[in-house]
Structure 1
Amino acid sequence: MRINHFLRMAKENGISWALSPMLTINAISGIPAFSFKQYGSSYTRWRVYYIGIYVTLSFLFCFSLYLTIRIVHEITYFSKNTNIAANVRVTWAIYSIFSVTISGYLHFFRRRQVEEVFQGLSRLVIGGSVERIRTWVYIQVVAFLSFVVNFVLLSGSEFDSLRPVTTMDIFTTPVIMFWGSIHMEQEWQFYNILSLLRLSTKELNFRVRSLVANLDLRFEHRTHTAKDAKVLRQLLRLRELQLKSYYIFKRAMSIYGIANMILSGETLISLAFLLFSAIDSRIFGHNETIPLRTICSIYWIVCEVSAMISVVAASECLHKEVERTEKLVIDAMLKVEDYPLRRELRLFALQLLHTPFRSSACGFFPLDLTLFTSMMATVVTYLVILVQFKSSE
């Protein structure tokens, strides 16, 4: 694979160069966010690579579904008197392997849409933030690699259990590790898309603010409308930029909606089981002298919660920037007396009103701060139910 060739091409585009560490990891794992048709002779090799990745992921997808069915079918391997801890661990495994498998496999077929999103962002975001973006992506790379290493350790500690190790146990955790890593890459991509949209909106706000300041100056000196045509063109350009940002946002929501919903469910279940582990230590393992499994499981939960918090925080920051745009446009509309300018600003305000940047998980629930309130209420409910089941053992 000629990853270095891609990096040289990507450096010509500031944002692509800044995101190249993330894109490289995506290419290695099989879900690249770019196409290689433009690279001439190397396209044939990349086409063979895509075919190989498709065959490999299809095999892993079928094998993962087979493992899920086996877990459900052979749930009696615990015993007839199954304890609540065993049920919790099986439920956790079934949800994890099934959800991240579906999400990761579907994401592979959306790589063209992902490519369009990042290409659109590369035309929106200014180059002045490239170095800062690349530094932040490097930090994300370190965090992601620590997540993968933790997954490997968790896979190795799977055998720290009282019950005999079966063939299904040997394959289940590595499969969850693979698809879970891909799912974390999806959330990584979505977070960067929201951050880049926020930077684009911030630059848009700066340009709107500058334009409003010029309008105030013209009004103050009672100048004539010699430059009205230029101002109208600038407003039209700003409206087009805002509309392009909204189309990119909607495309990203359609791509990552399922991944966001799965991450929310994973976070919800993980938090409930983490709190229940304080009551029943068998959730993470039985051997008290080797706490590796417990530490790795807790770190996994921390990574999921951190990803959830990061996505929600990025969504909130983007929404606030869009609200600032609305406020600037409305303030300008109230100050301008010239009818053509006022009409253009009114159209801009209406456009902002009908293009809300509100993230959600496939439309089922919004990705905002209120999500954590609902999530904690649900976690407490699950915890009470689990405690009642434990007391009846």
Structure 2
Amino acid sequence: MAKENGILWALSPMLTINTLSGIPTFSFRQHGSSPTRWRVYYIGTYVTLSFFFCFSLYLTIRIVSEINYFSKNIDIVAHVRVTWGFYSIFTVTISGYIHFFRRRQVEEVFVGLSKLAIGIRVERIRTWVYIQVLAFLSFIINFVLASGVEIKNHRPDSTMDYFTTLLLMFWGTIHMEQEWQFYNILLLLRLSTEDLNFRVRSLMANLDLRFEHRSRTDKKARVLRKLLRLRELQLKSYYIFKRAMSIYGIANMILSGETLISLAFHLFSVIDSRIFGHNETIPLRRFASIYWMVCEVSAMTFVVIASECLRKEVDRTEKLVIDAMLKVEDYPVRRELRLFALQLLHTPFRSSACGFFPLDLTLFTSMMATVVTYLVILVQLHGN
């Protein structure tokens, strides 16, 4: 991907990993490959993911049926382990498989982002993406380590457990890539909004209509044209944001649920270590599992912070436009600013998980309250 493509060039390390994992953001045709090669790749990926999807659902049913999950005599630790495994593999499987069919929508989002202005920060974005690649690779290495320990401790006669662990690793990696994509979308939208705010400030700072009649008319026409372009740019950003929310809403909801369950069960493992097994590999398994949880919490934290920063930047745009509207006396310019303010009022950048709960800082307080509630229930059941 050529450097002159700007944002797409900066994101190319992430896009390459997406393609290797089977959820490409762009087709091979955009990289100079033949349509036949792209068609073969797409069909092969579709067949492979469909097989993994069906097999994962089959293993999900086996997780519950093999140990008689609904028996009254089952130990609370078994309940915890089965619930954790069931939720993890089922949710990430659904999320990853659905995401594959949204490839064209994801492609439209990134193409739209490539047309937005983010100033001259392309090099810094690419450096930040490289740092994200290193963090993602550390997550993969830890996932492989945790899966290896899990397979080593399986019973010899439990062959299906091997496949469950490997598929959980595969779908979990794809799910983390989804959050990676969503975070970068929020980051680029924030940078674009910052550039928009800079243009608004510059335009209002240089606005001086106290000239002779002809110069005043020409300058006013230029100001109106620039305001119209800024409105169009803000509206394009909003459409990209809404499309991204419809694509990644399920993934965000699953990540929040997975983080909540992991926190509750990890705290419960302090009371009963049987959640991680009985043998000498408990410390290694615990470390790998804790690092996995840290990666999930970090991903959710970055997404929430990026969402909050984007919201604040959009609020700053609204404040700049309203302040300019109050200071400008010329009616046509003031009317254009009023339309801009109304547009900002009706295009809020509020991130959520499929509309169930907002992705803001209040999510952490709600999550901690839920974790404490779950932990109290688990401790009571464990005592009984």
In the superposition, the TM-score normalised over structure 2's length comes to: 0.95
Does residue 1:248 correspond to 2:240, yes or no? yes
Supply the AA of the counterpart residue of 1:117: V
For residues 331-373 of structure 1, the C-alpha deviation after alignment (integer angstroms, 9 at most, x for no partner) is 0000001000000000000000000000000111100001111
Asked if structure 2 preserves the Cα contact closer than 8 Å seen for 1:315 and 1:368, the reply is: yes
| Number of positions where the alignment pairs a residue of Structure 1 with one of Structure 2 | 383
SS where residue 114 of structure 1 aligns?
A: helix
Asked if structure 1 preserves the Cα contact closer than 8 Å seen for 2:151 and 2:165, the reply is: no
Asked if structure 2 preserves the Cα contact closer than 8 Å seen for 1:160 and 1:286, the reply is: no
Asked if structure 1 preserves the Cα contact closer than 8 Å seen for 2:13 and 2:133, the reply is: yes
SS where residue 360 of structure 1 aligns?
A: coil
The one of 323, 326, 330 equivalent to 1:331 is 323
Does residue 1:270 correspond to 2:262, yes or no? yes
Instruction: Give me the whole-angstrom Cα distance separating, in 2, the residues matched to 1:276 and 1:139.
Output: 33
Check 1:342–1:25 CA distance in 2 against 1; reply closer, same or farther (3 A cut). same
Asked if structure 2 preserves the Cα contact closer than 8 Å seen for 1:15 and 1:125, the reply is: no
Q: CA deviation at 1:43?
A: 2.0
Does residue 1:363 correspond to 2:355, yes or no? yes
Counterpart residue number, 1:145 = 137
Counterparts of residues 14-163 of structure 1 (less than 5 Å)? 14-38=6-30, 42-76=34-68, 81-126=73-118, 128-159=120-151, 161=153
Instruction: Give me the whole-angstrom Cα distance separating, in 2, the residues matched to 1:320 and 1:36.
Output: 37
Q: CA deviation at 1:38?
A: 4.5
Instruction: Give me the whole-angstrom Cα distance separating, in 2, the residues matched to 1:97 and 1:84.
Output: 20
SS where residue 34 of structure 2 aligns?
A: helix
Instruction: Give me the whole-angstrom Cα distance separating, in 2, the residues matched to 1:339 and 1:158.
Output: 70
Unaligned runs of 5+ in 1: 1-6
Does residue 1:285 correspond to 2:277, yes or no? yes
Does residue 1:308 correspond to 2:300, yes or no? yes
SS where residue 329 of structure 1 aligns?
A: helix
Counterpart residue number, 1:348 = 340
Instruction: Give me the whole-angstrom Cα distance separating, in 1, the residues matched to 2:346 and 2:72.
Output: 57
SS where residue 82 of structure 2 aligns?
A: helix
Q: CA deviation at 1:82?
A: 2.7
Counterpart residue number, 2:194 = 202
Instruction: Give me the whole-angstrom Cα distance separating, in 1, the residues matched to 2:259 and 2:212.
Output: 58
Q: CA deviation at 1:75?
A: 2.2
Asked if structure 2 preserves the Cα contact closer than 8 Å seen for 1:269 and 1:379, the reply is: yes
For residues 110-157 of structure 1, the C-alpha deviation after alignment (integer angstroms, 9 at most, x for no partner) is 010100000000010335111111111111111111111111111111
Instruction: Give me the whole-angstrom Cα distance separating, in 2, the residues matched to 1:30 and 1:214.
Output: 50
Supply the AA of the counterpart residue of 1:152: V
Counterpart residue number, 2:222 = 230
Check 1:221–1:380 CA distance in 2 against 1; reply closer, same or farther (3 A cut). farther
Instruction: Give me the whole-angstrom Cα distance separating, in 2, the residues matched to 1:171 and 1:142.
Output: 27
Asked if structure 1 preserves the Cα contact closer than 8 Å seen for 2:154 and 2:161, the reply is: no
Asked if structure 2 preserves the Cα contact closer than 8 Å seen for 1:67 and 1:168, the reply is: yes
Counterpart residue number, 1:174 = 166
Counterpart residue number, 1:4 = none
Check 1:80–1:354 CA distance in 2 against 1; reply closer, same or farther (3 A cut). closer
Asked if structure 1 preserves the Cα contact closer than 8 Å seen for 2:210 and 2:216, the reply is: no
The one of 166, 185, 202 equivalent to 2:177 is 185
* 29-38 or 181-190: bigger deviation: 29-38
Instruction: Give me the whole-angstrom Cα distance separating, in 2, the residues matched to 1:16 and 1:42.
Output: 20
For residues 22-55 of structure 1, the C-alpha deviation after alignment (integer angstroms, 9 at most, x for no partner) is 0000000010111234456522111101110000
RMSD: 2.0
Asked if structure 2 preserves the Cα contact closer than 8 Å seen for 1:162 and 1:286, the reply is: no
Check 1:231–1:390 CA distance in 2 against 1; reply closer, same or farther (3 A cut). same
